[in-house]
Structure 1
Amino acid sequence: MIGRRPALARLAAAALSTGGMSARAAAGLAPETLSAAPLRFPRDHGAHPETRVEWWYVTGVLRAASGSAGSRPDFGFQLTFFRVRHDLARPLASAFAPGQLMLAHAAISDLGRQRLLHDQRLLRHGFANARAEREDTQLRLGDWRLRRSDGPGGFSRYALLMHSEAAGFALELTLDAPQAPLLQGRAGWSRKGPGEQQASRYVSEPQLDGTGRLVLREGGTRDVRARAWLDHEWSNQYLGRGADASPDRAVGWDWLGLNLDDGSSMTLFRMRAGDGSVVWSGGSWRAPPGAPGGQVDFEQQLHFEPLAVWKSPVSLASYPVRWRIRTPRGVILVEAAFAAQEIDTRQSTGFPYWEGVARVADEAGRALGWGYLEMTGYAGRVPL
C-alpha cells in the first residue's frame, strides 16, 4: 500500500510542474492572465487561489534579547508557506479534491554550531489545519502559523509560530513593520523575464523588528530579538513557458533580501537559464524610514559574480556561497554565514535548494548588514 505522504509528494510535484498539460490547455483555453489591477490592502495580503502558485516567505536573524542590535546573529530562521493550484483533468465537487495544496518549509540555521535544522509539510488546502485565507495573511498548516494584523502606526504586525518535534526546534515571534508594504517592480508587478506576463505580483515587508522565544532540543530555551523580512508573491508563469532552451525559460534563480544596518533594505535577484546565462534580473533599494530617497528599482541593472562555491554532499550540487554584486547603489560583497545551508525538500516541493543567512559588506570589507540568500536550480530545474 502506498503511504499517504509519498503519494501527496508526487501530487505536489505534478502541481508545481509546468511541463504537463493543465485542464485549461486540455480544453483549448488560453493561458491564465495575471491581473495587473492596483493592489489593495489588507485584501492583497491574503490568498489569490485563482493563480497557479503563491508563497509567503519569512526569513531573518535572531540575537539574544539582551544582546546589541549590531552584534553578530546567533541564529537564522525561515518559514515559508506555499499555496499551489492543481488543475484536475476532471474537476471533483468534493472537499477532498486536491484542487489546492498547501506546503510549508521551516528551518533554523545555528550559526555557532554551523548546523541546519529543517522540516517540511504538505496537506490539501481547505480543512481547518490547512488554510490560506483570502481577506488577509492568515495561514495555517498544522501547528505552523503566520497571521498579519495592524500594528503600531497602522503598519503590519506578524505573529509567527513554527514547531518541529522531528527537527528539534520551536520558534514563536511577533514582528512589526516600520513602513508601509514595499511594492516591488512597477507598483507590485515584478518582471521575471522578457514576456510581459512572465511576472509575479510581489510585495515585501523588510526590516521587520520583533521579539520572541526559540526552543532547541539541543540548546535549551532563550528569549530572542529578530530582524526579519517577509515576501509575498503570486504568479502563473514565474519561470516562463516552453522548453528549457527557449530564451524566456529559467531553470532557477538567485535571490537576496538584505536588511542593512542603516535601516535601508535591498532586494536582488536574477533568473538563470539552463546554461547559466541570465534570463532576467531585478530588485530594489528602499531608504530607511523617514529618510529621503524613497525606492529605486533595479530592473536589468545587476551583475552577479560568484567568488566561491560549496558542493553539497547530499544533492552534489555546487552553490556559490560568496558573491560580488554590482548594483546601481554600488558594489557589495555577500558571503554565507556558513556553507552547509542546503534544504532537502524532495518530500514536499520536490527539489533541494540553498537557503541561509548571509552577511553583507562593501568592497573594502566594511559590514553593511545581514540578510538571506536563496539559490534554486543548481540541483536540477525547479518544477515551478
Structure 2
Amino acid sequence: MNRIKILILSLLFFHFSFPKDHNFHSDFGLEWCYFVGHLESENGNLYGYELSFFRLKFSEDSEWNPELFPVHFAISNFTSQKYKNAQTIKRTIGGLAGYSDKNIYSGTYRLEIISKDKFHIQAESKSKDLSLDLELEGNGKILIHGKDGVSIKSNRKPSIFSYYYSYPRLKTKGNLFFDGKRESIVSGNSWMDHEWSEKNSKSLPTLATGETGWDWICLSDNLGGDYVFFRFRESSKLDPEIFGTYRNPEGKTIYWKEPGQIQMKATGSFWKSPTTKIEYPLHWKIKYPGGEWTVSPIFNEQEFDGSKTTSTIYWEGGVEASDPIQKKSAKGYLELKGYKKPKEWWEF
C-alpha cells in the first residue's frame, strides 16, 4: 500500500480521543509534545519558557529499533533579556525514560497528564541551575489543525503530514529557578502543541531530516483569538508552502491551506547568532484574510543548539505582534528551523 493510500485511510478513520491522545503513540516514528508560554512572577518579572518532549523510533524492519526520548528546555527572562537552556536524551534502559497512561518522562523532565484539561510539567537541568515546576489548566477548547486533525505540510506532496492539535490559553502557575533566583509564578498563559507522524517509517522520518525547514508561530490575541502560521520548506530548492489556522473568540475555526491565502515574509535584517553564526529572520509580516500581523522578538538571543540530542539548531523564543487593521495585539512564540551557517567567502 503506497503512502497516498495510507493518507486517505488516515483521513477516513482517525479521530482524537482525550486525554488518551495527550500521551505518546507507540506505533508512530516521530512525535513531539511541547509547551511554550509567557509568565509573570510575584516580583513582576516577565519570563518565557520552552519545554519539548520528543520521541523518535527507527524502522521496525531494523534489527536495532530503539525509542529515543530527547528533551529541550529553555527559559527566557524577558525583563533582563537573558536566556538559558538545557537538554537531555534518554532511552528506556534502566527506567530513565518512557511513558505510561498519564506520564511522559526523560531523566529529570516530566509531563503528568492529570486530565483532558490539566497538566503538570517539571524540568530540571543537570547542573540544577535551571528548573521549573508548573501547573497548567485549560478551558476545554482544544484547537484541531487541518481536516479532523490531519495537518498537511505540503500540497505538492500530501504524504508529508502529521496528526496535529494545539491547546492555547492554558492558565499557568508554579515556580521556576533562573540565574540563581527562585521565582513564584502567579500568572501566565501557556500553549501546548502535539504532533506525531510517519507510521511504520522505514527510514528517518521525513520531518526529522536535515533538508526540511519551517517557520512556525503561535499567537494569542487580546480579543480572544488564536492563530498558528506554518511556512514549510521540504528543501531549500523548493518554494515554501504556507498554512494557517485561526480560531475566533466565538470558537469558530478556519483552516487556510490554499496558495496565496497567507503571506508570510521576513522583514528587516537577519540576526546573526554569535555562537553558531547562523542568521535568522526574527521580524515578520504576516498577511491573512482580513488582517496583518507585524511580529517582533522580545529579544534576539533565544537560539537553541540541540546538536547533542536531536541534531538540530533552531531559534525559538517569545514574540509580540500587532495588527493595525483589526486593532489588536498578541503574544506568542516563534520557531525557525532549517537555517544553516552561511558559507564563508573561501568556501564553495
**Fold match by TM threshold 0.5:** yes
Verify the 8 A CA contact 1:207 1:263 in the aligned structure 2. no
* Cα distance change, pair 310–217 in 1 and its aligned pair in 2 (3 A): closer
CA–CA distance in structure 2, aligned partners of residues 241 and 229 of structure 1: 22
C-alpha distance in 2, partners of 1:176/1:359?
Answer: 23
The Cα shift of 1:340 comes to: 1.1
Q: Could you tell me which runs of 5 or more consecutive residues in structure 1 were left unpaired when the two chains were aligned.
A: 1-28, 68-72, 93-97, 245-249
Contact 1:239 1:252 in 2 (8 A): no
Correspondent of 1:345 among 295, 298, 306? 306
2:135 equivalent among 157, 169, 174: 174
Query: Partner of 1:117 in structure 2?
Result: 84
State the partner residue of 2:57. 85
Across the aligned residues of Structure 1 and Structure 2, the Cα RMSD in angstroms comes to 2.8
Q: How does 1:209-220 map to 2 (within 5 A)?
A: 209-220=171-182
- Letter matched to residue 186 of structure 2: V
* Alignment partner, residue 306 of structure 1: 266
Deviation at 1:126, TM superposition (A): 6.0
The answer on whether the counterparts of 1:206 and 1:228 sit within 8 Å (CA) in structure 2 is yes
Q: Is the 8 A contact 2:219 2:227 kept in 1?
A: yes
Residue number in structure 2 paired with 1:376: 337
How far the C-alpha of 1:329 sits from its partner, in A, is 4.1
Q: Would you say the 8 A contact 2:41–2:183 is kept in 1?
A: no
CA distance in 2, matches of 1:262, 1:90: 51
Residue 27 of structure 2 is aligned to residue 50 of structure 1: yes
Partners of 2:222 and 2:110 in 1: CA distance: 28
- Cα offset for 1:119? 0.4
Q: 1:41 aligns with which of 5, 12, 18?
A: 18
Partner of 1:161 in structure 2? 122
Which residue is equivalent to 1:139?
104
Cα pair 1:85 1:100 within 8 Å, conserved: yes
Distance 1:126 1:200, change over 3 A: farther
Give, as a single letter, the amino acid of the residue that structure 2 aligns with 1:147: E
SS in 1 for 2:223: coil
Seen in structure 2, the aligned counterparts of structure 1 residues 65 and 287 have a Cα distance that, compared at 3 Å, is: farther
The aligned counterpart of 1:21 is: none
Question: Do the aligned residues in 2 keep the contact of 1:160 with 1:172 (CA within 8 Å)?
Answer: yes
Rounded to whole Å, the distance in 2 between the matches of 1:320 and 1:31 is 34
1:224 and 2:205 matched: no
Q: Aligned equivalents of 2:263 and 2:309: distance in 1? A: 32
Distance in 1 of aligned mates of 2:231 and 2:255: 14
Please report how far the alpha carbon of residue 315 of structure 1 lies from its aligned counterpart in structure 2 after TM superposition: 1.9
Structure-2 separation of matches of 1:284 and 1:318: 27
Structure 1 partner of 2:344? none
TM-score normalised to structure 2 length: 0.85
**Residue 84 (structure 2) pairs with residue 108 (structure 1):** no
| Partner residue, 2:197 | 235
Contact kept in structure 1, 2:291 and 2:325, CA below 8 Å: no
What SS does the corresponding residue of 1:40 show, helix, strand or coil? coil
Task: Give, in whole Å, the separation in 1 of the partners of 2:334 and 2:208.
Answer: 25
Using a 3 Å threshold, how does the CA distance of structure 1 residues 44 and 222 change in structure 2: closer, same or farther? Answer: closer
Runs of 5+ consecutive residues of structure 2 not aligned to the other structure? 342-348
Distance apart, 1:279 and its partner CA: 3.5
Higher mean C-alpha displacement, 221-230 vs 232-241: 232-241
Describe the superposition over 1:65-90 as per-residue Cα deviations: whole angstroms up to 9, x where unpaired. 475xxxxx711000000000022765
- Post-superposition offset of 1:275: 3.7
Residue from 142, 160, 164 that aligns with 1:202: 164
Give the aligned residue type for 1:234: W
Provide the TM-score with structure 1 as the length reference: 0.78
Q: Secondary structure at the match of 1:281?
A: strand
Superposed displacement of residue 328, structure 1: 1.9
Report the secondary structure of 1:52's partner residue. Answer: strand
The separation in 1 between residues aligned to 2:149 and 2:326, in whole angstroms, is 33
Relative to 1, partners in 2 of residues 1:108 and 1:226: Cα closer, same or farther, differing over 3 Å? same
Q: 1:211 to 1:366 in 2, by over 3 A?
A: same
Identical aligned pairs, as a percentage? 29
Cα 1:283–1:221 change in 2 (3 A) is same
Call closer, same or farther: CA 1:90–1:333 in 2, change over 3 Å.
closer
